Amino acid sequence: MYDAAHALELLYAATGVVGARFHEGQEESIRSLVDRRGRLLVVQRTGWGKSAVYFLAARLLREQGFGPALLISPLLSLMRNQIVAASRMGLRVETIHSENKEEWDDVERALANDTVDMLIVSPERLNNERFQDRVLGTVAERTSLIVIDEAHCISDWGHDFRPDYRRVGRLIEQLPANARLLATTATANDRVLRDLVVVLGSGVEIVRGSLDRPSLQLQTIRMPDQASRMAWIAERLGELQGSGIIYALTVSDADRLSAWLRSRGFAVEAYTSLSENRPALETGLIENRLKALVATTALGMGFDKPDVAFVIHFQSPPSVIAYYQQVGRAGRALSRAYGVLLAGAEDEAIARYFIETAFPTRAEAARVLEALDNAEDGLSKSELQQSLNLRWTRVEKTLQLLSLESPAPLVKDGPRWYRTAARLEESFWERVDRITQLRRDEQGQMSEYVGLKTGHMNFLVAALDGEVGGSHVHIPSLPDTVDPRLVSEARRFLKSSGLAIVPRKQWPAGLGGRILPEHRPETGTALSHWQDSGWGRSVAEGKRALHFNDELAEACASVVREWGLDAAHAWVTCIPSRLRALLVPDLAQRIADLVGLPFAQVFDRRPGYKPQKSMGNSYYQARNVRDSLTLVTNVPPGPVVLIDDIVDSGWTMAVAAWLLRSNGSGKVYPLALASAAPGSP
């Protein structure tokens, strides 16, 4: 039975606040889970304390002799925060995920010995054979409570739908009708709620509170130019009290913006899917040793820092619901906090890219299914790449989504994929079309939000089908102007910062193994991102005009000078193009003249060369360059600057460097005008 006094003691222990009280609806939710077996859906704003509900319920159930709780959570950063929060309540929590493989045996033994109070896993883990065999079968029989955090991810209609959450729905179908089940989210509008009720079961009890955040001062500022937005953030960051989060849409933007702010003296770091030290970065912000994290959506749901004083968006998110989720990180335990959205010219193009690549096309699905149809023994990842001239990310998305259909037209067994007898139903494509149109509508709603002068919070609450009209804090908005001199400095930073061209270390499967260190290029430099606010636009104009201006040549020469090559032995060459035969050689010759090095055109293309941009994945990209690029003269022995206009996959530079090093050159230093690699979160 639920013990109110004891529950309050546990709340004190968790919060460290003497006299702490439950928020409206919290105690009722805990009591419902402890005293009544059933299903509960809690929709409450960020900071309300949804995690306290399931931690307290799990602790109380364990004290009554029930088995461990199972928490399904979408992000590793969220898991880390949850483990810390649960430990304050005396819960023994373990997790199984892709980054702690060395701990799996110990966790499995602890579960078997019933010394784990709660196990946290991602939805992807539910499909893992080892997890199913060694964990799920035994834990499912004894589980006291199943918790689905960020439950909106289940719904096709949710702003952050995760395909692997379909496995959660199938797990729910197998539960007894009286199993304790809790689903929580802060971002579920009426459409998502209807979807969740179908998945969770018609008997689900819904606890829905106010979504209003009166402590947040929201505003939007249109600043199409990246340099202007960088300058605005640098100008305002020192004026803002406390610490916060700055959101960017892509890894590259997060990296460059954080580097710019560090150059202005701010303690900031980038936090992305590629960051190797994410726990340390989270701790740095939580302890206020960092002024801000410049983050992609890798830092999102569940990040637990109640005193985030500001959330600034460098670009617009794809929907107002996603924006509500992110800006909701601010002001949870503060009487006032800022949420500022800086809208950029590139926002629409980035959002359109993510919308258009969210699902496979009919042609991609047909090609994957056809390849598997023709392979009785199935196909591995490398064999699929060799069979299909498609980006692996496109093939992977196709495999993932089609394997989640019921019945599924394909299935994975070990490392190989097989075709099944099931056909891909037209209902799949109807759902794809429906969700894609929804995403486009949400993008339009985001544009409407950006244009608001007032009423920002009411707009967000209305988008989530909440009740609008609450009172809000009235604090001065931040200025929407920026110092022109600082804008000029930001533009100079963009032009001088450059982007690393990281060398490839392994040939694609089917083309060889490891690329020997003595055959690899050095880490090179690209001056810009394609069409960015630094050199990117000049590069695009030069491509159209078939001539790169002298400023670009001088910028490249500056990079070469910084490399400090031995002028007595170094030389310059370039990647040839049959479409624009003189464009890059002309640029390379001018760069060579500026730095006082000889230029030698040692490469040519064999007839029948296909444009590299038509190659879909690493196997085809590398093979296409290896089949077409050839040496037409002896290779000089010294270090060489290898010049190209655009770098994307990096395979052209990798193959060219391999040819140069294999034929007697010194170290190879790649240099490109722009990187056209797609952004990622």
Distance CA 242, CA 245 (A): 11
- Cβ atoms of 501 and 670 within 8 Å: the answer is yes
* Per-residue confidence (pLDDT) for residue 472, from 0 to 100: 60
Which residues face 419 on adjacent strands?
410
Q: Predicted confidence band at 137 (pLDDT cuts at 50, 70, 90)? A: confident
Q: Return the minimum-mean-pLDDT range out of 127-136, 144-153, 332-341, 667-676.
A: 127-136
Q: What is the DSSP letter of 462?
A: H
Distance in angstroms (rounded) separating the CA atoms of residues 198 and 217: 36
Sequence-distant (6+) residues with CB within 8 A of 364 are 390, 394, 395, 398
| pLDDT (mean) for 75-87 | 69
CB 238 within 8 A of CB 497: no
Provide the mean pLDDT of the chain.
89
Distance CA 140, CA 121 (A): 13
Residue 157 covered by a domain: yes
Per the structure, the complete domain to which residue 642 belongs is given by 498-675
Tokens of 46: 């960020």
Instruction: Examine residue 26 and state whether it is found in any structural domain, yes or no.
Output: yes
Asked whether residue 55 falls in the same domain as residue 198, the answer is yes
Residue 93 within a domain = yes
Distances (CA, A) of 321 to 46, 158, 349, 459, 464: 13, 9, 19, 10, 7
Do 552 and 653 share a domain, yes or no? yes
Q: 536-545 and 550-563 are packed helices; what angle lies between their axes, rounded to 10 degrees?
A: 120
Q: At 660, which CATH number?
A: 3.40.50.2020
- Do 552 and 534 have their domain in common? yes
Measured CA to CA, the distance from residue 201 to residue 76 in angstroms comes to: 28
Distances (CA, A) of 184 to 15, 76, 520, 612: 20, 17, 50, 46
Which of 23-27, 236-240, 257-261 bottoms out in mean pLDDT, i.e. has the lowest? 23-27
**Angle formed by the axes of helices 4-15 and 26-35, nearest 10°:** 120
| SS3 category, 391 | coil
Joined together, the tokens standing for residue 103 give 């701990």
Sign of CA dihedral 130, 133, 135, 136: positive
> pLDDT at residue 401 above 80?
yes
The last residue of one of the domains, among 208, 233, 252, is 208
The answer to whether the beta carbons of residues 643 and 556 sit under 8 Å apart is yes
- Is residue 443 in some structural domain? no
**Within the chain, how many helices (H) and strands (E) appear?**
25, 22
What value, to the nearest 5°, has the Cα angle with vertex 93 and ends 88 and 98? 130
Predicted confidence (pLDDT) at residue 681 exceeds the cutoff of 70: no
Burial string for 586-619 (b: 16+ CB within 10 Å, else e) reads bbbbbbbebbebebbebbebeeebeebeebbbbb
Among 146, 173, 208, where does a domain finish?
Answer: 208
Nearest CA-CA partner of 51 in 2, 87, 18, 76: 87
Is 50 a domain residue?
yes
Looking at the fold, whether 11 and 153 belong to one and the same domain comes out as yes
In angstroms, rounded to a whole number, what is the distance separating the alpha carbons of residues 274 and 677? 15
User: Rounded to whole angstroms, how far apart are CA atoms 439 and 157?
Assistant: 9
- Residue 659 CA to residue 631 CA, distance in Å, equals 8
Whether residues 321 and 461 fall in one domain: yes
Mean pLDDT confidence for 550-578: 93
Q: Is the model's pLDDT at 581 over the cut of 90?
A: no
Q: Which residue has the higher pLDDT, 222 or 179?
A: 222
Which tokens belong to 433? 């079309």
Percent of residues, the chain, with pLDDT higher than 90: 57
- pLDDT of 300: 65
Report pLDDT for 347.
Answer: 86
Number of domains, the chain:
4
Q: What is the mean pLDDT of residues 123-142?
A: 81
- CA angle 296-302-304, nearest 5°? 100
> How high is the pLDDT of residue 28?
93
Q: Residue 473: is its pLDDT beyond 90?
A: no
Tens digit of each residue's pLDDT (9 = 90 or more) over 514-541: 999 999 999 999 998 887 778 888 999 9
Beta strands 292-295 and 268-271: pairing type? parallel
Do the domain assignments include residue 663?
A: yes
Burial class (CB in 10 A: 0-12, 13-18, 19+), 375: middle
In three-state secondary structure terms, 418 is strand
pLDDT above 70 (res 180): yes
The three-state DSSP-derived secondary structure of 126-173 is HHCHHHHHHHHHHHHHHCCEEEECCHHHHCCCCCCCCHHHHHHHHHHH
- For residue 604, the model assigns a pLDDT of 93
- What letter represents residue 669's amino acid? Y
Confidence class for position 213, pLDDT limits 50, 70, 90: confident
Q: Say whether both 650 and 560 belong to one domain.
A: yes
Q: Is the pLDDT of residue 589 over 70?
A: yes
Do 535 and 554 sit in the same domain of this protein? yes
616 close to 644: Cβ distance less than 8 angstroms: no
Token pair, residue 369, equals 């299914």
Q: Is the Cβ–Cβ distance between 111 and 68 less than 8 Å? A: yes
Lowest-pLDDT range of 58-72, 256-270, 461-475, 570-584:
461-475
Higher local confidence (pLDDT), 678 or 280:
280
Predicted local confidence at residue 425, as pLDDT:
94
pLDDT tens by residue, 238-254: 999 999 999 998 888 99
Q: Is residue 647 part of a domain?
A: yes
Strands 181-185 and 93-96: unpaired
Mark whether 247 and 319 lie in a shared domain. yes
Indicate the range of 86-100, 210-224, 354-368, 464-478 predicted with least confidence. 464-478
Same domain (yes/no): 513, 611: yes
Q: Output the six-digit token pair for 329.
A: 């990180």
Flag whether pLDDT at 301 surpasses 70: no
Same domain, 122 and 181: yes
| CATH (domain of 157) | 3.40.50.300
On whether both 525 and 662 belong to a single domain, the answer is yes
Q: What is the arithmetic mean of pLDDT over 346-361?
A: 88
What is the C-alpha to C-alpha distance for residues 591 and 643, in angstroms, rounded to an integer?
9
Please tell me whether residues 305 and 324 are part of one structural domain: yes
Q: pLDDT value at position 79?
A: 63
Contact 602, 663 (CB under 8 A): no
Residue 438 within any structural domain of the chain: no
CATH code, 375? 1.10.10.10
With contact defined as beta carbons under 8 Å apart, do 472 and 500 qualify?
no
- Residue 680 binned pLDDT confidence (cut-offs 50, 70, 90): very low
